[in-house]
């Protein structure tokens, strides 16, 4: 029992450090990807190849003057970014990064918490993140911030419906709401991307909207709302909101990998006679590789597609994605009833 608790505590600390590290260097990666797509150089001054740029940016955030507007609600103004970063960090606990690791003859899951309702846990915690944005925008007592918060909350609530239907389709195929069961079900078998290719496209679109990523970044549209819900924020309070966005992108990419691309499954390696710990190491590397690929896809889309108008954004969510998600649910029911038993 003591070994189990120590292992889980270490896993929590490692996951916390990796999540913050990925969020920090995702800012560097995004600027490099943008530079590559726009035929520029990108960050290249701080350290070799600009690798120290995220550290320089973090130091700048810490040392900048912290401003709280006199007309704001001080406590809610502070609470907003705290909720955003906390909910973002909590979501990684239910993601399975590998199968099991062997320590002193006992197997331990490479997952902080293998919940039998893991996908519902992530969905619930992500939904709470809306409060961080809404509270921050309202507490600023700035009309631009309030409009950005209203846009963000209505956008996230709208696209969560279609995303939820896509998740229900995966639950129907797996017969479980546990993320580890979903990964194991694809282990050595057909990945869910094959029967759920249409659902994957819908889920990816909803994930972009949930993370307020371009072309769905209407909550912080600088051409209309200056900086949106975080206009009045400075120093590390602004940093918390920016970190939360990149952490949400990291978790969304990991979730896409788990739901549709086998999670930590490595094709053609399952039949190999590998030791438990070596297999676990390769699985973690594979899972991170898939996750980083989808982070790149998120960045690629941002610097490729133009931003929607807000009415187009809402029309896409309600008039197109929601009916298509329901249609995907019907197809999944047909697949589970008639096609899956034959495979």
Enumerate residues 6+ apart whose C-beta is below 8 A from 342: none
In whole angstroms, what separates CA 158 from the centre of its chain? Answer: 17
- Strand, helix or coil at 96? coil
| DSSP per position, 159-207 | HHHHHHHHHHHHHHHHT---HHHHHHHHTTS--TTTTTHHHHHHHHHHH
Enumerate residues 6+ apart whose C-beta is below 8 A from 261: 191, 192, 193, 290
Enumerate residues 6+ apart whose C-beta is below 8 A from 100: 107, 108, 109, 110, 276, 280
The domain tally of the chain equals 1
**Per-run averaged pLDDT (10 residues), the chain, 343 residues:** 86 93 92 92 89 91 86 89 92 91 86 89 88 89 87 87 94 92 87 94 93 81 76 88 91 95 83 80 94 94 87 91 95 89 74
Question: Tokens in use for 175?
Answer: 């017969």
d(CA 49, CA 36): 13
63 domain-assigned: no
pLDDT at residue 71 in the model? 84
54 domain-assigned: no
256 domain-assigned: yes
d(CA 36, CA 57): 21
Q: Is the bond preceding residue 215 a cis peptide, omega within 30 degrees? A: yes
Judge contact between 247 and 95, C-beta under 8 A.
Answer: no
pLDDT at residue 234 in the model? 86
76 domain-assigned: yes
- Strand, helix or coil at 269? coil
1 domain-assigned: no
Label residue 228 left, alpha or beta by phi (over 0 means left) and psi (-120 to 50 means alpha).
Answer: left
Range of the domain at 127: 68-99+113-342
pLDDT at residue 258 in the model? 95
State which H helix or E strand residue 303 sits in. Answer: none
pLDDT at residue 156 in the model? 84
33 domain-assigned: no
18 domain-assigned: no
How far the first Cα of the chain sits from its last, in Å, is 41
């Amino acid at each position: 029992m003591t070994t189990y608790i120590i292992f889980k505590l270490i896993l929590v600390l490692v996951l916390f450090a990796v999540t913050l590290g990925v969020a920090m260097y995702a800012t560097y990666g995004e600027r490099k990807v943008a530079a590559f797509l726009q035929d520029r150089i990108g960050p290249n001054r701080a350290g070799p190849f600009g690798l120290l740029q995220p550290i320089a940016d973090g130091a700048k955030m810490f040392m900048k003057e912290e401003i709280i507007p006199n007309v704001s609600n001080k406590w809610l103004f502070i609470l907003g970014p705290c909720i955003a970063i906390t909910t973002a960090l909590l979501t990684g606990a239910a993601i399975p990064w590998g199968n099991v690791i062997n320590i002193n003859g006992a197997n331990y899951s490479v997952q902080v918490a293998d919940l039998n309702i893991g996908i519902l846990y992530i969905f619930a915690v992500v939904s709470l993140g809306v409060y961080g944005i809404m509270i921050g925008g309202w507490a600023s007592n700035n009309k631009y911030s309030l409009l950005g918060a209203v846009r963000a909350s209505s956008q996230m609530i709208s696209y969560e419906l279609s995303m939820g239907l896509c998740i229900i389709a995966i639950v129907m195929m797996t017969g479980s709401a546990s993320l580890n069961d979903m990964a194991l079900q694809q282990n050595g078998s057909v990945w869910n991307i094959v029967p759920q290719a249409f659902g994957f496209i819908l889920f990816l679109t909803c994930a972009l909207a949930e993370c307020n990523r371009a072309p769905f970044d209407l909550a912080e549209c600088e051409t209309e709302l200056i900086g949106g819900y975080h206009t009045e924020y400075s120093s590390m309070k602004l940093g918390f909101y920016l970190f939360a966005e990149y952490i949400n992108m990291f978790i969304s990419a990991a979730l896409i990998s788990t739901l549709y691309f086998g999670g930590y499954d490595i094709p053609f390696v399952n039949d190999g006679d590998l030791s438990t710990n070596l297999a676990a190491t390769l699985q973690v590397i594979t899972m991170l590789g898939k996750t980083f690929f989808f982070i790149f896809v998120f960045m690629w889309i941002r610097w490729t597609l133009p931003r929607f108008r807000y009415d187009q954004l809402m029309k896409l969510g309600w008039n197109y994605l929601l009916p298509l998600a329901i249609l995907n649910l019907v197809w999944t029911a047909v697949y589970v009833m008639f096609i899956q038993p034959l495979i």
